[in-house]
Amino acid sequence: MKNAETPTVKVVLYGAMASLGGALMAELLRRQHEVIAILDDLNVLAPRPGLRTKSGDLFDAERVKQSVAGSSAVICLLDAPGLPFNSDHVERSVVLGPVEQVLAVDALVDGLQAANVSRLFLVGDFAVLDEPDLGDPLQRHAAEEIREALQSSPLQWTLVNAPHGVAGLTIEHFSQVGGNLEPGLAEPLERLNRVAVGIADELRLNLHVGQHVNFVATSDT
């Protein structure tokens, strides 16, 4: 239970409908943070204490500014399904392609600066930065452009390699203590929860600012 001296940590989340998004919401709410999920459909998440939903447009810096104003940090899952946008210049698809990811980050950087919000976690396919000879060349070029855009900004950013998500895992799964899981979901639930805990710890301790991190099989980063 919060008391009057408990600082309010407000975290804006783009990508709430991904499996990692569910893990992050559950973990942040467990820590009594306030979570603002930016969504196209504001009714897609069931109400729960500490969770708010807002509409937004990830490709419009002014809309980003409105969505993140007053928050402590922003977490954006670039490869999540259902990211919110309403742009004539971007083809709507299940997930963003490399070019769209670059455009989204440009709007995020500008919007966060305009809102005076400095802490940003970007989760995406950044493993290609460590393995230049592997992966899709377009994705690698996009990752490099994103890193350069962040490096030239005043933001306190952290790049996080996206873990492999699993369809069907939601905040309800991560919020349960014990309970029965469908076959095959226990391992990815534990793995994604570990990544969510790691990101929440990074936020609390302000670690790895201006760095690229990967959450591996152990709890180390």
CATH number, domain with residue 204: 3.40.50.720
Query: Could you give the percent of the chain with pLDDT greater than 90?
Result: 66
Q: Does residue 37 sit within a domain? A: yes
Q: Does residue 151 sit within a domain? A: yes
CB count within 10 Å of CB 215 equals 21
Q: Does residue 38 sit within a domain? A: yes
The count of structural domains within the chain is 1
Per-residue pLDDT tens digits for 53-96: 999 999 999 999 999 999 999 999 999 988 988 765 555 556 89
Per-residue pLDDT tens digits for 162-184: 998 888 888 998 987 556 667 67
What DSSP string describes 196-215?
Answer: HHHHHHHHHHT-STTEEE--
Per-residue confidence at 219, pLDDT binned at 50, 70, 90?
A: very low
CB count within 10 Å of CB 142 equals 25
**Domain around 73:** 10-213
Instruction: Give 34: exposed, middle or buried? Use CB within 10 Å, 0-12, 13-18, 19+.
Output: middle
Q: Does residue 5 sit within a domain? A: no
Q: Does residue 1 sit within a domain? A: no
